[in-house]
Amino acid sequence: MKEIYMDNNATSRVADEVVEAMLPFFSEQYGNASSMHEFGGQVQRHINKARESVAQLLGAADPGEIIFTSCGTESDNTALFSALRSYPERRHIVTTRVEHPAVLNTTRYLQSQGYQATYLAVDGEGMIDLEELRSAVTENTAVVSVMHANNETGVIFPVDKAAEIAAARGAVFHTDAVQSAGKLPLDLKRSNIDMLSLSGHKLHAPKGIGALYVRKGTRFVPFMMGGHQEHGRRAGTENAPYIVGLGKACELARKNVETENTAVKALRDRLEKELLSRISNAKVNGGKSPRLPNTTNISFEFVEGEAILLMLSDLGIAASSGSACTSGSLEPSHVLRAMGVPFTFAHGSIRFSLSVYNTAAEVDFVLEKIPAIIERLRRISPFGKNGKRPQEAGVCREN
């Protein structure tokens, strides 16, 4: 049975070209990039090339603005802690209710340490209100962290405008671009964004490598202390094979951005349109907002998302009910709760996230199988019979 993988917002396959680029650095060019001899120096040159590739993907002004990390979570933590340590007199953080746990849980921890935090609401289509942000940022705000695109719904936030609002108050602006890097064109040299996080395994590089963009002139305090690596900004021996892999993946992503926004988007749109036409009581979450070209989050009323996923898995189809970092919970997604999605819809939400490796034939197969799955589950659903909604099922709102 061939696996049909439509969970690319959770992780993506490593591109063959990336694997090929990495292999020599395990057994042939395995020197320490910090060594003074040529055996290490040649590795450093490949790391420098990778740094240039990441900078080009992001539209950064200088490759020196790129710091290699272990993952998106480390990048997010580094950005938040750096901003707070750089401005110790400021004790306030602004973020959104729909951030990835790497930002949300870090902010909650910082609240336990005495910091204040404001969590911006989103509307029913998953979008923030820039006027609410403008009101929330004060002279006491150290950092504003707003994701570029939501990992569950794909909704794209106006981060360039948000960064302008933060800059007007002297606050550092950080964006988690883990989902958008490689899917949307980026031009950081023309933006007020101070820091940006990305993760390799979301754009066909391996797990265990990420990067943090820090705009030149932005105050910065390292999160990882120790040696002089990354110009003293991130200690630890450089993970040369994975850095090279990320660089290659960024090269490929630059070439594929147009494909993501044409061919991949066309597959996503067809999947979405056909599912809505073939299945009653279904809705797209965030469908009226600008979204990533590869992502659709669809709720099927009166069924459990986990049951849908298990039946899809039996057919070799991989999808998700939300963030892979929170899918162990039986509670509805915090993102859908923040959007006020009704309870009977929120529990039946499925995220399909495609990539350049998906095909029209795969979309056809999914479209063939899902309607029967939903029909079967609705016949045994405890949430509602014959289209009748249970009286206790209200709006699933996060306070």
Active-site residue numbers?
325
* Cα distance between residue 104 and residue 101, in whole Å: 5
- Residue in 202, 378, 216, 221 with CA at minimum distance from that of residue 301: 378
Q: Is 170 left (phi over 0), alpha (psi -120 to 50) or beta?
A: left
Alpha-helical regions (H) of the chain: 16-22, 24-27, 38-58, 72-86, 101-112, 130-136, 159-168, 229-232, 240-259, 265-278, 305-314, 334-339, 343-346, 360-379
Q: Is 226 left (phi over 0), alpha (psi -120 to 50) or beta?
A: left
Give the chain's radius of gyration (CA, Å).
22
Cβ contacts of residue 1 below 8 Å, gap of 6+? Answer: 315, 316
CB 77 within 8 A of CB 107: no
Residue 67 gets which letter from DSSP? E
CA atoms within 13 A on the CB side of 353: 27
116 beta partners: 92
Pairing of strands 92-96, 116-120: parallel
CB 279 within 8 A of CB 370: yes
Q: Which two tokens stand for residue 288?
A: 């009226």
Q: Which two tokens stand for residue 165?
A: 């609002």
- Residue in 82, 70, 77, 80 with CA at minimum distance from that of residue 229: 70
Give the max Cα distance, the chain.
74
* Cα distance between residue 166 and residue 155, in whole Å: 21
User: Residue 6 burial (CB < 10 Å; 0-12/13-18/19+)?
Assistant: buried
